[in-house]
């Protein structure tokens, strides 16, 4: 025999559901008025199934994170390809990276425009 009684939700569950809604708004899935309406429903909810209904039309966090394995695979492929590159190419890429980092440090230290730091000016 199964227990089909509704389970009361906690304040932490309400807060977590509100965070999911705010995240969905940040991703452009919900308008601000939809978020406001749904958050009002969330904080008025007494049972877990009421919280589930508020986010039922949104993708689950596992669905949204599907790009991460692709990024890891691309990174692995890049490392493999770079490892197979000739020594001269590795040296050239390394030098370009060093130059790029040095330029970024220089620009950050001395400013990007006229508002930046100037030698001899106060």
Paired with 47 in beta bridges are: 8
Contact 13, 48 (CB under 8 A): yes
Contact 32, 25 (CB under 8 A): yes
CA 72 to CA 21: how far, in whole Å?
28
| Residue-wise pLDDT tens digits, 26-78 | 889 999 999 999 999 999 999 999 999 999 999 876 655 566 677 777 777 87
| Residue-wise pLDDT tens digits, 94-111 | 899 999 999 998 888 777
CA 74 to CA 89: how far, in whole Å?
20
Tokens 């978020």 locate to 35
């Amino acid at each position: 025999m199964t227990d089909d009684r509704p389970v009361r939700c906690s304040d932490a569950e309400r807060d977590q559901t509100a965070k999911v809604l705010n995240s969905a708004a940040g991703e452009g899935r919900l308008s601000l008025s939809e978020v406001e309406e749904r958050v009002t429903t969330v904080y008025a909810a007494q049972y877990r199934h009421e919280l589930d209904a508020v986010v039922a039309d949104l993708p689950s966090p596992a669905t949204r994170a599907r790009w991460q394995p692709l990024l890891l695979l691309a990174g692995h492929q890049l490392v493999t390809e770079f490892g197979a590159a000739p020594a001269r190419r590795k040296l050239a890429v390394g030098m370009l990276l060093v130059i790029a980092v040095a330029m970024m440090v220089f620009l950050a230290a001395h400013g990007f425009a006229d508002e930046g730091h100037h030698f001899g000016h106060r």
